[in-house]
Structure 1
Amino acid sequence: MKLLSPRVHGYLDLVVIAAFALAPTLLGFGSRAASLCYVLAALHATLTVLTAFPMGLLKMIPFPVHGALEAVMAPLLVATPWLVGFSGVGPARSFYIASGMVLGAVWLLTDYRAGAPDREHLPDDRVSI
């Protein structure tokens, strides 16, 4: 059973965006870890704005695609300190590992099919000639 609705997931997305935007300053990241955090905040904000769910403004990306992108990002965030070269920096390393684990947990708990239209009840767009 999935515990998080699309609306709750959207609120959590806002927390994630704020965390990525504020962590470099609050935790004193070096330039590489900080720059990546700012890029991730911007990318996640863009994804949130474009997603077809309650927090999305333009609703261009299906919510299940949003979920698939987060499923890919979760393990990448955990590996980022080693991939990018700041695994020896405690605060940045810990933040990225924790972010990946939290994103993975949110992914597991979110119902990405909630609110999706039922294809059987949609009008038929085909034109007969």
Structure 2
Amino acid sequence: MRFISTRAHGAIDYLMGVLLIIMPYILGFADGTSAQWIPQIIGAALIGASLLTDYEFGAVRMIPMPVHLFLDVGAGLLLVVSPWLFGFADRVFWPHLILGILEIGAGLTTRTTPETAAGTGADRTLR
């Protein structure tokens, strides 16, 4: 069931991207290891993909929304398995697991088409 609007998903994307980038510093695992870099790289990639997605918060609008949602699910899966895949689960895994599950959930429950057509009406005046 897809109940999250693309507008709400856009806000979630940018917030999640920033959270993933700053999370290692806030939670004390900014130690230069993969535990730090995996969420930061995924966070930067989420922001980059959001800027390129064809939805209300996209700047360039090149990536179709279904592709964006597929990327979100993939990023969430990588976050979920990264503590075990990269060998840092003995130090930290909860933030990766929780945010990964949330990212998967957002990808699976967001509508695939924006409520306003790209570049038309009120949507265009917001740029």
Partner of 1:31 in structure 2?
32
Alignment-derived partner of residue 68 in structure 1: 70
Structure 2 length-normalised TM:
0.82
How far is 1:41 from its partner?
1.7
Q: In percent, how many aligned pairs have the same letter? A: 29
How many angstroms apart in 2 are the aligned matches of 1:76 and 1:35?
12
Q: Decide which structure has the larger Cα Rg and report it.
A: 1
Alignment coverage as a number of residue pairs: 115
What is the Cα deviation at residue 114 of structure 1? 4.0
Tell me how far apart the structure 2 counterparts of residues 17 and 100 of structure 1 sit (CA, whole Å). 12
- Which of residues 56, 59, 62 is equivalent to 2:58? 56
**Aligned-pair distance for 1:2?**
1.7
Runs (5+) with no aligned partner, structure 1: 118-129
Deviations 1:75-99 (A, max 9, x none): 2211000111111113xx1010001
Q: Are the aligned partners of 2:69 and 2:108 in contact in 1 as well (CA < 8 Å)? A: no
1:42-53 mapped onto 2 (5 Å cutoff) = 42-53=44-55
Pairwise CA RMSD: 1.6
Q: Give the partner amino acid of 1:66.
A: H
C-alpha distance 27-36 of structure 1, shift in aligned 2 (>3 A): same
Residue 39 of structure 1 aligns with an amino acid whose one-letter code is I
Give me the whole-angstrom Cα distance separating, in 1, the residues matched to 2:52 and 2:95: 26
Contact 2:38 2:79 in 1 (8 A): no
What corresponds to 2:88 in structure 1?
A: 86
Distance of 1:40 and 1:59 partners within structure 2: 20
Post-superposition Cα deviations, 1:21-57, rounded to whole Å, max 9, x if no partner, equal: 1101100113221122221121111101011111110
In 1, the alpha carbon distance for the partners of 2:64 and 2:112 equals: 9
Cα distance in structure 1, aligned partners of 2:113 and 2:60 = 19
Instruction: State the match for 1:98 in structure 2.
Output: 98
- With structure 1 as the length reference, what TM-score do the two structures score? 0.81
